[in-house]
Structure 1
């Protein structure tokens, strides 16, 4: 069973049959006559909305949730919006096709090159061996099985790919370098800010599982990040002091700005701004890359002409 090319399948009236992957629980909505299902198929850099109009047809998805399915689709369009109508969908039984076949990834060699080059720049700004040793211990703990380097930073937004969490973190560290270079005052706090960037999203290794929601996703990554950090409380306080440990906690709690607990420290505010800049710029770039006419739609601003428009 071949994996369906979602972009090609979107052509209006085109019928396709093959394997598809649903990584998020779809929604069941009420229609004029009966309930219908709306969700999204994912295939590497392709993400396409689907609709299922018959309750009997979407019953297998409702029962099994996210996963790989065999489906019969038809490209559809309504009011200028394209989507896939699902005429049949069943749980995929072919063991040769797993969800990893559908997941895009950042090459590990590329991530390691980013790590080494960014570490050197932070070393030049005063990052200490103490900082790097603690970071290494925390993100490479045996119990998390290397998932900091493997997990995505999100499921449907920025860096929603395998290795996306590390990629997002390393891009933030590059921005941090520029921020510190612009303010001598911050060089006194390079360890705090470096560790804060590394650990701000550490809870996502518990919130997600290979770009799907983990069983306890509802205790979000900020809560689970704080919980994980407690295991290293004594190590951090011994290496620095309790104030340093509490500052790291504040970064994990407050890095979402107004979309969660607001920042209570300057460090949390700095990490929030760096996080927002990196993630939002990445989303703009990704949206233009996927656009057929180099125009993108941003909810707060409307349509934007792309860099290649």
Structure 2
């Protein structure tokens, strides 16, 4: 079977057969007659809601979890909301398809060129070769198996694409560069701020697995990041001192601000604000792109009028 064009399949009463991808375990709700399932199929930039009304059919999804499935669906609509009704579903046996067949990705060449540009910019603002060598050792350690370059920064919230973690981190480094330009007094701590930004989300390579939650997701990326950083404790203290190491730990622990452990250092507070600006702006842009230039809904502020966007 071929991969279903989800948008085309939404046509009312159209029957489609093919392969789909479920990235997150759907939810089961109670209906008037029996339980039913609601979830989402995703494929590149398409995300479409599906519903399964018969427990005997959605049991297959409960048994097998997120993954690639062969389905028969029919386009449906209720109160002007379009969705796909699943009439049959089974795990796909196509060996040529994997998650990467369905997920958006940022080309490696773009990730690397963006990082080189911000490295040059930050070097001119005081970040030392010693710091870059340390960062390279941490994010490219063989233990990670290259996953810093391929994991997403989130599952749904922002930069939820293959390569999104590195992309999010690089964008934060660009914001840090602007801060160092605007506030020269911060350049005395350029190495610390640059290193802390680079590793603040390193634990996401353990919290996520190809844009799904990992088996031990409940030990958050902040906990796992601090645990991973301990592998480099002696190197960091030899290159700098224990304060540098403890400051980096604090940044990993507290960069979520009021949504996690509160910041305990000025460096952590700065990184929290950089992280919030980058992730929130990216979220708004992604939602605006999905809305095709129309208004979007923000849970804090209600409806927001759109903004004209160019090509990325």
- Superposition TM-score, scaled by structure 1 size: 0.96
Q: Counterparts in 2 of 1:64-79, with a 5 A limit?
A: 64-79=64-79
Q: Which residue of 2 aligns with 1:48?
A: 48
Match of 1:287 in 2: 287
The range that moved more, 141-150 or 72-81, is 72-81
Q: Distance in 2 between matches of 1:165 and 1:17?
A: 34
Specify the SS of the correspondent of 1:212. coil
**Contact (CA 8 Å) 1:2, 1:19: kept in 2 or not?**
yes
Segments of 5+ residues of structure 1 without an aligned counterpart are: none
Match of 2:236 in 1: 236
Task: Give how far 1:120 is off.
Answer: 0.5
Unmatched tracts of structure 2, length 5 or more:
none
1:1-309 to structure 2, matched below 5 A, reads: 1-292=1-292, 294-308=294-308
Contact 1:42 1:102 (8 Å CA) reproduced:
yes
Q: Where does structure 1 differ by over 6 angstroms across 4 or more consecutive aligned residues?
A: none
Are the structure 2 counterparts of residues 41 and 245 from structure 1 closer, same or farther at C-alpha, using a change threshold of 3 Å? same
- For the residue of structure 1 that corresponds to 2:304, the secondary structure is strand
Return the offset for 1:292: 4.0
Is the 8 Å Cα contact of residues 294 and 308 (structure 1) preserved in structure 2? no
User: Which deviates more from structure 2 when the two are superposed, residues 104-113 or residues 43-52?
Assistant: 43-52
Query: Tell me, what secondary structure is at the counterpart of 2:93?
Result: coil
Q: Distance in 2 between matches of 1:76 and 1:157?
A: 27
* Whole-angstrom distance in 2 between the partners of 1:193 and 1:79: 50
How far apart are 1:80 and its partner, in Å?
3.4
Describe the SS at the equivalent of 1:215.
coil
SS at match of 1:197: helix
SS at match of 1:178: helix
TM-score, normalised via structure 2 length: 0.96
The one-character-per-residue Cα deviations of 1:71-121 (angstroms, maximum 9, x if unpaired) are 112222333333222111111011122222101110111111111110001
The alpha carbon displacement at 1:293 in A equals 5.5
Asked whether the equivalents of residues 50 and 85 of structure 1 are also in contact (C-alpha less than 8 Å), the reply is yes
CA RMSD of aligned residues (A): 1.4
Moved more, 79-88 or 33-42: 79-88
* Contact 1:15–1:75 (8 Å) recurs in 2: yes
- String of CA shifts for 1:237-290, please: whole Å, max 9, x gaps: 111111111111111111111111111111111111111111111111111111
Contact 2:74 2:86 in 1 (8 A): yes
Equivalenced residue count is: 309
